[in-house]
Amino acid sequence: MKGTTHLIGGLTAAVVFESQFSVTINEPIIFYSSALIGAIIPDICHPKSMIGRRLPILSKMFSSVFGHRSFSHSLLFLFFVYFLTDQLVFSFADELQLGLLLGIGSHIILDAITPQGVKLFYPIKMNVRTPIYVKTGSVIGESVVTICLGGVLVLYLFS
């Protein structure tokens, strides 16, 4: 998926989570910003991604060590981010943590609906993808996913 699709996915995940679980968000700016940032973080392994272009040295190092859609697209990475953010002790740490995890989770799910899939159980080198998938960057595939995410977003925002 492209960066904009991931951003919409991260925002949608945050809105749906807040609505479905009736979570009280004390710092919505932090929560939603974290979800957006989390939605692009896994692509640090791709130097031409939205985040890779902004952090080229880190992205190239990450890519050379782990490759694309491996560690940063896994449950292990999600746990690693959870553990790191769980050490934070300031007033909006919970919103930051939850937003990042939802954004990263949405990214992993969206990349699992591509032909390449993700290495969800990294370091096991098995690709996981959904039975129905769309090609990354294809006009029709990206449009369908974006429209579906937008529909869900609108449904939850106005219900």
Q: What is the pTM of this model?
A: 0.94
Of 7, 62, 42, 8, give the one whose Cα is nearest residue 118.
42
- Chain centroid, CA 27 distance in Å: 20
Q: Give per-residue pLDDT as tens, 19-37.
A: 999 888 999 999 999 999 9
> What is the average per-residue pLDDT within 62-78?
95
| pLDDT score of 75 | 98
Of 57, 82, 152, 154, give the one whose Cα is nearest residue 110.
152
| pLDDT score of 41 | 97
Q: Please, which pLDDT band fits residue 110 given cuts at 50, 70 and 90? A: very high
- Quote the CA–CA distance of 51 and 2 in Å, as a whole number: 11
Asked whether residue 118 carries a pLDDT value surpassing 90, the answer given is yes
The beta-carbon contacts of 28-32 under 8 Å, at least 24 apart in sequence, are 28/95, 30/92, 30/95, 30/96, 30/99, 31/95, 31/96, 31/98, 31/99, 32/99
Q: Please, which pLDDT band fits residue 138 given cuts at 50, 70 and 90? A: confident
Asked whether residue 136 carries a pLDDT value surpassing 90, the answer given is no
| pLDDT score of 18 | 94
Of 37, 62, 64, give the one whose Cα is nearest residue 50.
37
Asked whether residue 78 carries a pLDDT value surpassing 90, the answer given is yes
